[in-house]
Amino acid sequence: MREAGFSTRAIHGARVPEVRQLPASVPIYQTATWRFETQEEYAEVLAFERPGHSYGRGFGNPTVEAFEAVMAELEGTEAAFGFSSGMSAIHAVALVLAGSAGHAVVSRELYGGSYALFSKVLPRYGIAVEEVDPHDIEEVRSALRGASFFYVETIANPLCTVADLEALAASCREADVPSVIDNTFASPWLCSPATIGYDFVVHSATKYIAGHSDVIAGVVCCSARDRSRVQGVAIDIGGAMQPFDAWLAIRGLQTLEVRQERQCHSAMALAEMLAGDRRVVAVHYPGLGSHPHHDRAAKLFRHNSFGGMLAVELSGGIDQAAAWCEALSTAWIGASLGGTHTLVTHPASTTHRQVPVSERTARGLSDGLVRISLGLENTEDLLDDFNQALQVVGAG
């Protein structure tokens, strides 16, 4: 028999050994496709008529499924489905629930990317989007009549407000309207919204879940039935999570608790320091007793903690805010949040740039507002850094 050629041997020579031990780390199944012995087996696995894996565009991957399993465990849901970004996760849920010509009721306090999805993208499908004040329960209840779904954030980006989430979930159940909540700012360590009645919990897993600013990912936590519906959308339009991203997110989750403990501690210390500074107009952090939603947050959140995010308002507008950010050295100017590095951003020109100026003003997003995501640096170093930056710009 003729020996196979070099390329054939290079392609087929790497035989996967049988592994009888369990690994300490979830393996990365870095493959887009899988082989089958028969065409019938391939067809049945592709149609979910028998267990197995076929193709990486949402049909399943062992590493991704491991991530989905731990997210469902932490959020207290039956199942979860991983996405390539938080926005793709939100988009998929919206399409599942509203289809075409649906009616979405959404909080007026939203991340800029979510605002753009709801105000610009969903209307192209014929989906009507109605904004409501999440703090006005009667307004929400009125809007829920005939709605396809309701959408809110656990801790609103960037002003860190906390709506009466239990009352909102109860209102959705009474109206038989699916409820969707973005739990990115809180993380399942701080709050698990499914336990108080939310049907879909979405995350930008890029943030606290993965936690190291090295992956873009999203996830939807929900019932097993709804997972199948969400998966169907991902298969048809793309956006499913890939194995290496899932592996990074799994690794990040293992330190979520210890990371959040430090981040929440630093956020409280910084909020208290800035709240007592005459050069600061306002500090938005639910851990402060002066925050209008402090008592609500204390009841809702675990571990006597209030999150690693806060927003600070300076009096000098965008110029003063920019100067303060640029005077920092330990903290960095940068996109995203929830990582090991402390990051600052100016929402009016970055995260909420999609929101018209008049609407930003109405929502309290002033030009002097700075959003801060606390990292894992020593708390004392961060306090010194933010304080010296205030001295440099002479805020107020």
Catalytic residue among 207, 227, 363, 371: 207
Backbone angles phi, psi at 81, to 5 degrees: -140, 130
Neighbours of 146 (CB within 10 A): 10
Q: With H, G, I as helix, E, B as strand and everything else as coil, classify residue 67.
A: helix
Asked if 208 is an active-site residue, the reply is no
Active site residue 55: no
Catalytic member of 115, 141, 151, 182: 182
Beta-carbon contacts of 343 under 8 Å, excluding residues fewer than 6 positions away, are: 331, 332, 333, 334, 335, 336, 337, 372, 373, 375
Catalytic residue among 42, 57, 108, 277: 57
- Cis amide linkage into residue 347, ω under 30° from 0: no
Q: At what angle do helices 62-75 and 243-253 cross, to 10 degrees?
A: 40
Cβ-in-10-Å burial (0-12, 13-18, 19+) of 203 comes to buried
Q: What is the dihedral of CA 278, 274, 312, 187, to 10 degrees?
A: -160
Is 245 one of the annotated active-site residues of the chain?
no
Let me know if 57 is a catalytic residue: yes
| Cα–Cα nearest to 156, from 184, 194, 193 | 184
| Nearest alpha carbon to residue 311 among 161, 183, 160, 187 | 160
Mapped onto helix, strand or coil, the DSSP state of residue 38 is coil
Q: What are phi and psi of 333, to 5 degrees?
A: -80, 125
**Beta strands in the chain, from DSSP E residues, in sequence order:** 79-83, 103-107, 128-132, 149-153, 179-182, 200-204, 218-222, 280-284, 309-314, 332-333, 343-345, 369-373
Given 111, 151, 208, 285, the catalytic residue: 111
Structure token digits, residue 320: 């003063």
- Structural tokens at position 377: 């640096």
User: CA–CA separation, 91 vs 73, rounded Å?
Assistant: 23
User: One-letter amino acid identity for 139?
Assistant: E
Cα-Cα-Cα-Cα torsion 91, 93, 94, 95, nearest 10 degrees, comes to 90
Give the E-state strand segments of 24-178 in sequence order. Answer: 79-83, 103-107, 128-132, 149-153
**One-letter amino acid of 136:** D
Active site residues: 57, 111, 182, 207
